Structure 1
Amino acid sequence: MPLKPHIDWLSDPEIFAVNRLDPVSDHIAWPSAEVAAKGEENPFRQSLSGRWAFRLARCVADRPAGFHARDFDCSGWESIDVPGYMQLQGFGENQYVNTQYPWDGIEALRPPQVPEANLVGSYLRDFTFEKRAGTGRVVLTFDGVETAFFAWLNGAFLGYSEDSFTPARFDITDLLEEGENRLAVQVFQRSSASWIEDQDFWRLTGIFRDVWLEQQPGLHLEDLFVTTDLAEDFSAAKLRLRLKLAVQGEGASIEVALSGRNGEAVVAPRRFDAAPEMDLVFDIAAPHLWSAEAPNLYDLSITLIGADGQTVEFVPERVGFRRFEIIDRVMHLNGKRIVFNGVNRHEFNPVRGRAVTYDDMLFDVRFFKRNNINAVRTSHYPNQSAFYRLCDEYGLYVIDEANLESHGSWQKDGAVEPSWVVPGDRAEWRAAVIDRARSMLERDKNHASILIWSCGNESFGGSVIFDMSNWFRDRDPSRLVHYEGIFHDRRFDGTSDMESRMYARPQDVEAWLKDDPQKPFILCEYTHAMGNSCGGMHLYTDLVDRYPQYQGGFIWDYIDQALALGDGVSDRRLGLGGDFDDRPSDYTFCTDGIVTAWRQETPKVQEVRALYQPFDITPKRDAITIRNRNLFVSSATLLLKIRLLKDGVAVFSTALDQEIAAGETATLPLELPGDLAAGEYALQASLCLRQKNAWADAGHEIAFGEHVFTVEGAPVMPEPVSLELVRGDLHLGVETPGYFALFSDVFGGMTSLKAGGIEFMHRPPRLTFWRAMTDNDRGRNHGFDHAIWQMANLHAKRGPVDFDMNGDEPVVRYRFPLPGVPVVPEVAYRVGRDGLIHVKADFPGGEGLPDLPIFGLQFTLPPAFDRFRYYGLGPEENYTDRCRGARLGIFERSVIGNLSPYSVPQECGNRMGTRFAEVTDDKGRGLRFVAEGAPFEFNALPYGTMELETAERPEHLPPVTKTVVTIAARQMGVGGDDSWGAPVHEPYRIASHQPLSLAFSVAPIG
C-alpha cells in the first residue's frame, strides 16, 4: 500500500485502512493497581479532545493545500470542538434521510462513486508531549470519525481510515517529538463507505468521538480475549484468557487474579512467564452467573511485571460468567429460555448529535432498567465502549450491530429492487465489510452483556454478508449471529442463527410460529413508536407464553432524533428533517422514539413498562397471585404494596413480605376490611424496590396488577330542584338554583351555561367524528380513506329540533344531517330535577361507510378553565389499544400539560374508562361531567382538532384561546405495527354500521 495519500482512495471500496493498526480489545492499561484505584486521569493516556483549529471546504477541490505542514499558518482559521460534528457547530448543513441516499436526485451516482458535493473539514491540533520512562510504543486513537479521514503528524502522513464507528489506531512512536507536536486531520463527508453507511439518521460529519494517545510500556498487554466455559450443569466454569503481549527483553512475568462480587479471592494471584501469545485457563467453582436480572461481575486483574520485579502495567477487567446458545431451536441463557424485552437505540443528543456524553449513556441505561427494558440493539453501528461497560454493570442484553447499511441500494419507496445492491455478491466490498465485523468484535469481545453479533441492518443479502457471519462464528463461537436481511434473500439463510423480522404483523408472526419453524424468532424492529403510537403492542408480547420460539423484540426506537434549534432551556424548539432546507429529506421520520430528543418520557413509556414487566400480578378480593417471569432471581428484593381505592380514593393500604422463586407462581392470601360500603373498588398491587439501587430509588414500582369490583347498594337520590322555563322564539332558557342554561334552535345546542356569573360555553357543544391525525394515521392514508368523517366533523348541519316540554323535565333533541353520510345522528339534552343536564348522543349506524375515527361531543370552554381532574384510567394518556399500562384512579393535570410532547402535534391526551371529569379554573369553578351507564373517553386540550392537525410543530400552534373538552363514546386505537400503512387492529376500530350511544351528565361546580 503506498504511503503517499491519494484522493482516489475515497472512491475505492478496497482501500479503507492505510497504516491502521489491527483492532484490539477495549481494555484499559494503568501504571499500577494503586493508580487505577484512585479514579484520576490515566497517566498512560493523553486526551487530544478539546478545541481544534478548523477550516471548512465545500468541495474536495477547495480543501486547503499543504495545511498538514508543521509550519502552516492557521491563525485565520476558525475553531471547533472535538468530539463534535461540523454541521452542529455551524459548518455545513444538517440533512436527514432514512432509506434514500442523501445525493439522490442531486447527482447521478452508482457505487462506489463519490459525490462532487463533498464537505471537507481540515483540523489542526497542537499539543505538548512528554515521554514517560519505559515507553515502548505510542499509539494515537480516533474513537470515531465520520466518514473517512486522512491524518498527518508533524507533517508526515500517518494513515487513512473509513468505518465511522470503530477506533482507528496508528503507531506514532517514530513521528512524535518531545515538546510541541502538530496533528492534522482531513475529514471527508462522503466516500465509498457512504454507500454502506446509509442508516436512518442525520448525515453528520466530523471527529465525533474522543481522540487520545497512549504511551504503551515495552511490556504491554496488546489484546485480551476472555471467555467463560461453563459446565453442563453450571456448577463450575473454566475462565480462559487469550493474551497478546508486547515483550521486550527477558525475565518478564504476568500475574493473574480474580476476585468475586464481594472482593473475595476466587483465583489467588498466579504468576506466569510472559510470552507474546498466552492461553491461560483457570478452574472456577460455583460461579455466580451473569444475566440482566443479576449482573454478577468478577474483577479480573492482570499485572505485567518486569524482570526487576516492578509492576510495569496493570489491567483491570470485569468478567461475567454466562453461556448463550440455541437448544432445541430456542435461544437459552444459562440454560433458560430468554425473552428480549428490547429497544433499538441510536446514540443521540439534540445538541451534540451522535457525539453523546457519558451522562447521556448513563441516563439511557438507568431509564431502560427502570422501565423493564432488558435488551438493546445498537442500531445500527457499534456504540462507545463506555456504553457496553454500563450494560455489563447494570444488566442489559445487547445485540452489537456492525456499521453496515445500504438501504437505498436495494429498496426504493418500499419496493425491493436489488439490481445494484451493495455489498451483495460484489467481491470488491468483501474486505471492507469483514473489516467492519472484525473492528467491532475485537474491540467489544470481552463484554458479558453482548450476546449477539449483528451483521448490520437493511443491506439486503448476498454472499458478502454471509461471509461476514461466518467470520463472526469462527472468531467467537460463544455468541450467536443475527441478520434480518435473510428475509429478502433466502439464498443465504444461514447468515442468521435466528429468524429476524421487522414490522411483521402479529398475525403473520403467529402464522410463522405455527409452521414448524427451524429457528428461534425475534423482531429486531417492531411497534414503530412514531408520534402517538405503540398501540397493539400487547398483541406481540402476548405471543411470549404461547410460542417458545417467539423470543421477543426491539421497539423502534428509543429516542427522537430531533436537533435543537434553541438553547434547550428557555428555547426547547426542535428541528426535524426538512426544517433545515435539507433536500432530499425524509422529514419527520427521524422522530420515532419513546422519549423525546430531550429524553423526556412520552406516554408510550407507560405501556412499554407494563408489557415488559417481569411479574404477572393478579389481585382478587381474597388473594393475590404472582407469577415470577424472571429466569434467575426471586422477588425477595421487592415489597408487595397493596391499595384499595373506593371510587378512586384510597381507603386501605398494606404491605406484604413475599419471596417467589424465579419461574414460580404463588398465591398470597389477602384480608380486606369487612363491610365495604357500596361503590366501585379498585384493588391494586405493586411490587416495589425495598431499597435504593444503582438505577432507581426505594419504592420504585417494578410490576403492577389491578382488580376492579363493585359493592352494590341502594342509590342515593338527590333532593329535586326547581326548574323555571322560558320558551322564546329561538331559545329555551332553564333556570335552576345552581345554574342557567340556554338551548338554541339556530345554533343547534346548548349556547349558554352560567353559574356564579361565569359563562362556561365558549361555543355550543359539537358532535365530533374526526380526530387530529396521528403520524400512523397519515402513514396509512387515513385521511384519504376516511375523509368523509372529516367533512362530517366540519360541516354537520342543524336539522330538525324537537323541544319536549310535556314532561317534568324539559328535553331538547337536535338532529344533524351530515354531508355524504346517509345517517342522521342525534343529540338530546334533558334538564333534570336532580340539578344535572343529561346529555345523550346517538349514532344510528349506516352501511357502506368507512370506520369511524371517533364519536362524541366536544365542549369549547373559555381558556381560564385550564386544569382537569378525572376518575378513570391513567395517569398518562391511553387508548383502546394502548391501555394495559394504565390503572384506575383519580388523576389531575393542567390542560396545557395534557398536550403530549410529540414532535408533530397530533391527537393526544385521551383517557379511557372515565367515570367523571372536572374541568376547572384556579378557584375550582368549572364543569363536572359524569358518565351514565358505560364510562366515556375523556380529553381536555387547549386546541381544537383542526389546530392540532394543521400545525407542523408545537411552536406553530396558536396562542391558547380556549379549552376543548372531548367526551367520546369511543375513539379508535392509535395502532403502531408500523407508520407507513399498517391499520389499527380490527378489535380497536369503530365499525360505522353499528349504532353508538354516549350518555353523561354535566353541571357547574365550585
Structure 2
Amino acid sequence: MRTAAAEATATAYVEDVSPGSGTLPPRARYTSSDAKSLSLNGSWRFRLSDTADAEDDSFAEPGHDTDGWAELTVPGHWVLQGHGSPIYTNHRYPFPVDPPRVPTENPTGDHLRVFDLPGDWPVPDDDGCGAVLRFDGVESCARVWLNGTCLGEFKGSRLPHEFAVGPLLRPAGNVLAVRVHQWSAGSYLEDQDQWWLPGIFRDVTLLHQPRGCARDFFVHASYDHRDGTGTLRVDSDVAGRVTVPALGIDVPTGEPVTVPVTPWSAEEPHLYDGLLATEGERVPLRVGFRTVKLSDGLITVNGTPVLFKGVNRHEWHPERGRALDLETMREDVLLMKRHNVNAVRTSHYPPHPDFLDLCDEYGLWVIDECDLETHGFTEQGWRDNPVDDDRWTPALLDRAARTVERDKNHPSVVLWSLGNEAGTGRGLTAMAEWIHGRDPSRLVHYEGDHTCRDTDVHSRMYADHAEVERIGRGLDGGTRKCRELPFLLCEYAHAMGNGPGGLADYQRLFEAHARLQGGFVWEWIDHGIAHPELGFAYGGDFGEELHDGNFVCDGLLFPDRRPSPGLTEFKKVIEPVAITGTDGSVRVTNKYDFADLSALRLTWAYQVDGETVASGTLPLPALAPRESAGLDLPAPPPDAPAGEALWTVRAVLASDTPWAPEGHVVAWGQIPVSETRPPYLTPTARPTPHGDGVLVLGPGTFDARTGALTAIGGVAVVAPRLDVWRATTDNDDGAAWQPERRFGPLWRRLGLHRVRHRLDAVEHTDHALTVRTRVAPAASDLGLRTVYRWTSDGQRLRLTVSVAPEGDWTVPLPRLGIRIGLSSADRVEWFGGGPGEAYPDTGAAAELGRWQSTVDDLQTPYVRPQENGARAGVRWAELGGLRIEGDPVFSLTARRWTTEQLDAATHRTDLSPGDTVWLHLDHALHGIGSQSCGPGPLPPYHLRAEPAGFSLVFSPLPTTPTGPTTPTGPPALTG
C-alpha cells in the first residue's frame, strides 16, 4: 500500500507546468500509401474516480480484472456518456486560481482497451521506427501505458501526441491503458469560452513506421503572380523523391522546382496530387500553390488583398461535444460555402486535422489558432498569468510547435494565431519568434497584442462601427506599427440569440476602406447539449456552482446545425456579387477577390404583388474581380396586372460544384418598378348600437362602454391595444461589462414590461369610433397618450392609431404597435419581407414576395426563448379568417403564447401553446445590435419615443366560419 506521499509523487505530473514527458517530437500529420494503421476508436472499458490518486496504476497491467467497469465510446467525453456532468464557463476558472495547483476533487477516468494486431502487421524494425501510438486529442492531461510499460504523460488537450511503441507490441492481447485527469496545470492554459469536457475525444491510432519512413516533411509551395509560376520544395527528414505528374515534376526532396501552375485560393481551391517517396513508404501529397505576404500594409495572397468574410468555429456536436466525425465536419464546410463564408478562425485551438483537409479541398481561408487561453486571470488583473511566467514558456512553445508542425502543409492555413485572450507576456513573444523562424511563409496573429509587437496584423474584437471606421481612415490611436498594419476584427457581431444586428453596416465599412480586411463573426454554432427535458441545455442546467448561462449559445447555427436567421442575413450581407439597378437595367459587380463570374448565370423574374408573371435568364459577362457591367432587362409583360411591381435578379451556379448543386443562389437583388399601394378606404358606415352594450361599425363589433373591438365579421378577437414590450433578446439584455447602455435592464427598470392601459374616453361621430387612452408603467410619470380611431366602408374596418409621448423619455421603446388575439389560426400568408424574420438592423435578407407558413413555423427556435419571428415590410397578411392590410406596411408576428410567457421562459420546452393566437402588428421595432458581447444597435435603429401614427385595415375573409370560440384575454399583469 502506497503512502500519501507516494501517491502525491505518483500524480505530481498533473500539476507540473511542463508539457509532459515521453512523447515524440511534433510532426506533420499524414496518411501513408504503404504503412499500416490501426484505429483504436470504439468501445473501451472505463472507470471514474473522484480524485487523481484514488486508484493505483495496477489497472495498466495485462490481466487486470475490469469486471464492473463501464463501457465508454472513444472518441468521446465521459460526462456526455453518463459519468459526471459538463461545466460551462465563459472565462472564469471553475476551480480556485492557484497555478499550477488544481483541486483534490479531480475527476479521473481510467480507460482500457485490449487489442490484437492484424495478421499482416509487420514485425517491428530494429532502427526504432517500428510503430507510433497517436492521440489526436485528450482533455486535459493523460498518462499512457502499453502492456504495463508507462510511455509517459502529456498535456495540451486539442493537440496531437505520439509515443514510440514498436518493441512493446504483441501479436495479440495488447493492453492500452490511459488515465485522464479533468484538471491539470494544463487547464490554466485552456480557459476558452466553452464546455469543460474531459475525455479522449479525438482519434487514437496505431501507425506502423517502416524502415526508411518519411517521419516528417514540410511542403513549400509558393506562387509568383507576376509570371504565373509555382515553386515547390519538399523538405523531408528522410531523403526521397517528390513527383507531381500533372506538372511533370520529379525531383529529390529538398530541391526546388519552378513550373507554370494554377494557384490555390479559397475561391478556386486548385490542388495538385503528388507523392513523396522515401525508401520505406510513399506519402500522398495535395499541393496548393499560394503565397501569403504583408504588402503595402495589407494581407495579400498571390499578390491580391483578401477580404475575410469569416466565422469563428468551436468544434461542437449537441450529443458528442467536441468528438466530431468526418461527415459532421464536412457538413460545416458545406454550410459555410453555401452561405458565402470564405474564412474560418479555429477558435481557440487547432481543429480536428480532417477539418483542414476539407478547407483545402473546398476552399476556405484559415486562421489556425494555438490551444491557448488564460482569460480567467483577468479576474486578478492578470496577476500570475502563465504567459508572463518563464516557468510556463516550454509548455507554450510546445503548444505552438504542435500546432505548426501538424498543420504546416495545408494551403488553407494563411495565418497562425498564438491563442486567444491570454493577456501579454514573454511567453507569447517566444511563441511568435519561434513561429516566425519556423514558417516565414505565413503571418502571425494575436488579438491581445495591442502594440502589435509580436504580430503581423492589428486585430481587435467587438470594436464598434465608429471605431472601426476610424481605424479604416487611419485615425485610430494605436502605435505607429499598428497603424501601418492591416486590420481584422477577429471577433465581431456576437451571434447570440436573436441577431446579430449591424452586419450590413460593418460590411459597408470593410468594403470602403482597404485596410479593413474583414472579420470573423462570433461564432459558428450554438453549443447547446441535447437534453431530454429541456431540448437543449446550457450553463447551469447541470447544477454547476459557477456558470455563464446561455452565453455558450451564440452561434449562426442552432445546435442541430439548422441555419439561424443570423446566418441567412450574413450570407446576404457578404454575397460576392452585387446586384443593383433601376427599372429597365441591372448592374452586376463582381466582389470576389480572385474568381471571375464564369461559374454563374443570371435569372430574372418580373413580379407583381409578390407573384411572378414572367421570368427568364440574362447573359452574364465573365467579369473579373471588382469589375461591373450594366445589363438591360427585358420589357415588362404587356399583359402584367396592375400592382406593386419589381424585378428579382439572382446569380446562381451555372453547374454543379463540389459544394452546391446547379441553381444554388449565390446572390440576389430586387429592383422596384412601382411604389407600395396603401389600401384606400372611404368611411361610409356609422357606429350603430345593437343593444346589450354592443356597438357595430361595418364588420366590427365593439363593447359600447369601453370601445374595445370584440369581433370582425365572424372572427372573435381579443381587443387590439397598444403594445410597447418585447421579450428581451440576449442582445437587449447586454453584457454586464459593456460600457454602452443595456436597454433590456433599462426597459424593465422603467416598467415597460408591465404597462397599464387607462380608458379616458369613448366617442362616437357620424363615421368614426374614437377611443382615447393613456398607456403608462407604474411608479413613473412617463406615459403614451394613445388614440384609436375606427372607420369603415361597410366591408372593411380601418384602425388609425396616434401616439403622443408624455414626460422625459430618455430610452427608446422596444416596439410600437398593437397586439390582438385570435381564437384560432394556423396557415399564414403574407405579401412582404420573407421568408424569415427581420428586424431594423437585420433585414438585408428579407426578400419582398408572397410567402406562406404556419403559425408554428413562424417561430425561431432560439435555445433561450426571446423576441423572434417578426416578418418585416408586410403589405398584407391573411390568417385566422382575417385579412390585415398595412398603411403602408407593418411588421407581423404571430404566436400561440403571450409575450409575457415568452419572456418568462428559459428553454423552449417551457412554452406551451394556448387557445389564443397572439398577433403583433407593429409600426416599428427597436434594432437588435450585438450587445450580448459587442455594441448595441446603431442610433438609426433606435425606436425613439416620439409622436407617431399608423393605420391598419381589417376585413373578414369569405371563408370565415360562424360561431367562433371567444379567445382568452391577456394576463392581468399587463393591465
TM-score, structure 2 as length reference = 0.92
Hey, what does 1:685 align to over in structure 2?
649
- Matches of 2:645 and 2:9, distance apart in 1: 76
Which residue of 160, 167, 184 maps to 1:167? Answer: 160
Q: What is the CA-CA distance between 1:328 and the residue it aligns to?
A: 0.8
Mapping 1:744-893, distance limit 5 Å: 744-755=703-714, 759-761=715-717, 763-779=718-734, 781-787=742-748, 790-791=751-752, 794-804=755-765, 806=766, 809-819=767-777, 820-833=780-793, 835-849=795-809, 850-862=811-823, 864-893=824-853
Q: What pairs with 1:347-386 in structure 2 (closer than 5 Å)? A: 347-386=315-354
Match of 1:398 in 2: 366
How far off its partner does 1:593 sit? 0.5
Q: Does 1:665 align with 2:665?
A: no
Find the aligned partners of 1:115 and 1:844 in 2 and give their Cα distance. Answer: 61
Distance change in 2, residues 1:717/1:885 (3 Å): closer
| 2:276 equivalent in structure 1 | 302
CA contact under 8 A between 1:916 and 1:928: conserved in structure 2? yes
Task: Return the offset for 1:293.
Answer: 0.7
Structure 2 CA distance for aligned equivalents of residues 411 and 100 of structure 1: 8
2:454 aligned with 1:495: yes
| Counterpart selection for 2:263 from 275, 278, 289 | 289
Give the letter for the 2:733 counterpart: R
CA distance 1:829–1:1003, shift in 2 (3 Å)? farther
Aligned partner of 1:522 in structure 2 is: 488
**Deviation digits for residues 163-209 of structure 1 (CA, Å, limit 9, x no counterpart):** 01111100001211222211111000011000010011110101111
User: Aligned partners of 2:227, 2:541: CA distance in 1, in Å?
Assistant: 55
Match of 1:639 in 2: 601
Distance 1:524 1:423 in 2: 20
C-alpha contact (below 8 Å) 1:83/1:355 kept by paired residues: yes
Secondary structure of residue in 2 paired with 1:469: helix
Match of 2:243 in 1: 257
Contact 1:682–1:888 (Cα < 8 Å) also in 2: no
| C-alpha deviation, 1:268, in angstroms | 4.3
Kindly provide the amino acid, as one letter, of the partner of residue 633 in structure 1. Answer: A
Cα deviation for residue 17 of structure 1 reads: 2.1
SS of the counterpart of 2:488? strand
The Cα shift of 1:89 comes to 0.6
Change (3 A) 1:74 1:677: closer
In structure 1, the residue matched to 2:562 is: 600
Q: Contact 2:136–2:202 (CA<8 Å) still a contact in 1?
A: yes
How does 1:67-466 map onto structure 2 within 5 Å? Answer: 67-103=59-95, 108-129=96-117, 130=119, 131-132=121-122, 135=125, 136-231=129-224, 233-245=226-238, 254-259=240-245, 265-270=246-251, 272=252, 278-285=253-260, 287-305=261-279, 312-411=280-379, 417-424=381-388, 426-466=389-429
Q: 1:5 to 1:321 in 2, by over 3 A?
A: farther
Partner of 2:529: 563
8 A contact 2:929–2:938 mirrored in 1 = yes
User: Does the C-alpha gap of structure 1 residues 1004 and 644 become closer, same or farther in structure 2, counting only changes over 3 Å?
Assistant: same
Contact 1:53 1:79 in 2 (8 A): yes
Q: 1:585 aligned to 2:547? A: yes
Identity of aligned residues (%): 34
Q: Deviations over 1:658-682 (max 9, x none)?
A: 1212221111122222656542112
Unaligned runs of 5+ in 2: 1-5, 476-482, 736-741, 960-975
Alignment partner of 1:979 is 2:960: no
Pair 1:911–1:823, CA change in 2 (3 A): same
Q: Residue type of the partner of 2:228?
A: S
Distance 1:281 1:588, change over 3 A: same
Helix, strand or coil: the match of 1:990? coil
Residues 248-294 of structure 1 show CA distances to partners (whole Å, capped at 9, x for unaligned) of xxxxx8342113xxxxx312445x5xxxxx51212212x10100110
Residue 504 of structure 1 aligns to a residue whose secondary structure is: coil
SS of the equivalent of 1:280 reads coil
Q: What secondary structure sits across from 1:703 in the alignment?
A: strand
Q: Distance in 1 between matches of 2:88 and 2:298?
A: 38
Q: Which runs of 5+ in 1 are unaligned?
A: 32-42, 246-252, 260-264, 273-277, 306-311, 921-925
Letter in 1 for 2:206: L
Cα deviation, residue 592, structure 1: 0.1
Asked if residue 1001 in structure 1 is aligned to residue 953 in structure 2, the reply is: yes
Alpha-carbon distance between aligned partners in 2 of 1:540 and 1:791, rounded to the nearest angstrom:
31
For residues 785 and 674 of structure 2, the distance between their equivalents in structure 1, rounded to whole angstroms, comes to 33
1:571-593 deviation line (CA, Å, top 9, x unaligned) = 88111110011120111101001
Partner SS state of residue 80, structure 2: helix
Deviation of residue 718 (structure 1)?
Answer: 8.6
Q: Counterpart of 2:967?
A: none
* Structure 1 Cα separation of the partners of residues 42 and 343 of structure 2: 33
> Which residue of structure 1 lines up, in the alignment, with residue 965 of structure 2?
none
Separation (CA, whole Å) in 2 of partners of 1:389 and 1:743 = 67
CA contact (8 A) 1:423 1:464 kept: yes
Q: Deviations over 1:876-910 (max 9, x none)?
A: 10011111111111111111111101001110011
Q: 1:10 aligns with which of 3, 14, 27?
A: 14
2:87 and 2:944 map into 1 onto residues whose CA distance is 42
Question: Aligned equivalents of 2:515 and 2:347: distance in 1?
Answer: 23
How many Å apart are 1:919 and its aligned residue? 1.3
Could you give the per-residue CA deviations for residues 449-504 of structure 1, whole angstroms, max 9, x where no partner exists? 000000000001111101111111100001000000013xx3xx322111111101
Residues 8 and 447 (structure 1 numbering): CA distance in 2 closer, same or farther, change over 3 Å?
same
Q: Quote the offset at 1:602 in angstroms.
A: 1.1
CA distance in 2, matches of 1:155, 1:244: 31
Residues 1:783 and 1:54: Cα distance change in structure 2 (over 3 Å): same
**Amino acid across the alignment from 2:505:** L
* Alpha-carbon distance between aligned partners in 2 of 1:953 and 1:439, rounded to the nearest angstrom: 40
SS for the counterpart of 2:726 is coil
Task: Measure how far apart 1:419 and its partner are.
Answer: 2.2
| Residues 711, 165 of structure 1: alpha-carbon distance in 2 compared, 3 angstrom cutoff | closer
Number of aligned residues: 929
- The TM-score with structure 1 as length reference comes to 0.89
Provide the C-alpha distance between the structure 1 equivalents of 2:145 and 2:401, rounded to a whole number of angstroms: 25
What CA distance in whole angstroms lies between the structure 2 residues aligned with 1:57 and 1:132? 38
Using the alignment, how far apart are the partners of 2:660 and 2:867 within structure 1?
A: 32
Moved more, 604-613 or 440-449: 604-613
Against the structure 1 CA distance between its residues 931 and 109, is the aligned structure 2 distance closer, same or farther, given a 3 Å change threshold? closer
* TM superposition shift of 1:848: 1.3
Report the residue type matching 2:839 in the other structure: Y
Displacement of 1:340 in angstroms is: 0.4
